Structure 1
């Protein structure tokens, strides 16, 4: 089982936003600055072109340019995981191969969405992607967005593949995660901030966090305290973070929208719409309260 020293991609990972200019183009300079700042503030690794990175609305070329720019900014030692996945397996294989060429250390592969394939087809899809490159895979189980769960029995079989090494878990099923961690060597990363601490306490490797875009040190401090043998302090710090987690992730606005509002990081791409002034002011107030309470 994975130890608390971190999984194959580190322990504290940020699901990084993709900055755009006011004209709506990819802002590689802003991406470089943000990536370097996240690493300086305690992120072990970065996940690019995931949900928070607005991957459905970036082109293949933009994804590759973003990966290359971030690699340039953070150097060779920081794990970069490229988000790939979609409803078309052939396209996903191309994305995976492009990411490998552009310098990714791993692939975050989301379940095929919209078509809602049966489990045999889900398994075949992940295996096809796993065989298409030499990169390790983090499987992204987020049935609330894709409409399809990666069932525990499917994960058990996929765990036998040498390049299937991790899971980003947004299933909200701690029982299944606990059983799978006990029966496999899969590194489990929480994809839902409210479960970062409980999943870690059960043996999880860490997290992939949207909130880490704006509060990387605060998110990491929870796991640091737990790993230092102080679960009460970890619980206290986690409790302080929860108001910001709820405001950013459960307010009805997508995490990409709330993160960019707090960072003043340029527009989101349609169909997403920016947070209005009231929502932005509310986010800022909660963020400032957290910073004051943890400084």
Structure 2
């Protein structure tokens, strides 16, 4: 597939942000995460997304995190900066900072908690689209935001010519058909559904499980896109235990990503910022078992 068809890469992980025991940024640890991901199958990274605990980081911290990651991975790795908040002014500030820092793309989630209607979503997205030049990836995750982007809203956005991609975590892989017909590059935002998304036209994934299984996810996607469906299905079956271990528990996301990174020796802790709490001993043991069952450690 051409770079136009997959404008932000194929396998991107929404990377975790490392913290010291006192809750301050651990930029050295964050750089280790970034290098680990690039060395294990990722051709792009999403910085300061949900798994990066962006609701708990400041604009200034997001700038420091992005600069540290770019320093760690160099200019050849696609970096997508998470800029989504539930305040348009703050989102515009983050977008300007990310573009000034050389972001290759901008991840723009629907505003959460205040739950704007479809007109409000369009108003928010349009202000960002008009103020930026980097490719935008919309992020639809109604389980976290409380609002699903409607089909007619996507149709309107498609006329702007400014949104390149959609990270779809709305739970329905069949929607990829509509989105691709509208001209968006679709990325699965739900690891267990990635193979299904590919079947409906998606070009890649923005993953959480990629912290532990980036190479396997990459192999699955390339097998599918190359027509080797049986191999893709085999890899997907192999990954079921780690999907369940990292995505099937209430505390998934940053907590399970950091648990996996600790189990793999990338981090020596699994610190997160409140209100998220680290995996407890039983949850960590279950995660280790899932990694082992999937052949990842």
TM tier, smaller = over 0.9
> 3-state DSSP class of the match of 1:214?
helix
Corresponding position of 2:261: 263
What displacement does 1:6 show? 5.7
Corresponding residue of 2:238: 240
What TM-score, normalized by structure 1, do the two folds share?
A: 0.94
Q: Within 2, Cα distance between the matches of 1:261 and 1:78?
A: 25
Matched residues in 2 for 1:6 and 1:286: separation? 34
Contact 2:16 2:257 in 1 (8 A): yes
In the other structure, the counterpart of 1:69 is 68
Q: Secondary structure at the match of 2:237?
A: helix
2:287 to 283, 291, 294: 283
Q: Which one is further off, 24-33 or 137-146?
A: 24-33
Alignment partner, residue 200 of structure 1: 198
Give the drift of 1:67: 0.4
SS at match of 2:83: strand
Provide the secondary structure at the position in 2 that maps to 1:71. Answer: helix
The equivalent residue for 1:18 is 17
Q: Which blocks of at least 5 consecutive residues in structure 2 are unaligned?
A: none
Q: Paired residue for 2:171?
A: 172
Contact 1:6 1:206 (8 Å CA) reproduced:
no
Quote the Cα distance in structure 2 between the aligned partners of 1:225 and 1:173. Answer: 22
**CA RMSD in angstroms, aligned pairs only:** 1.6
The answer for unaligned runs of 5 or more in structure 1 is none
Q: How does 1:145-160 map to 2 (within 5 A)?
A: 145-160=144-159
Asked whether the equivalents of residues 140 and 169 of structure 1 are also in contact (C-alpha less than 8 Å), the reply is: yes
TM-score, normalising length from structure 2?
0.94
**CA gap 1:164/1:225 in 2 versus in 1, 3 angstroms:** same
The answer to whether the 8 Å contact 1:48/1:67 transfers is yes
Task: State the aligned residue count.
Answer: 291
Deviations 1:66-86 (A, max 9, x none): 101111111111110011112
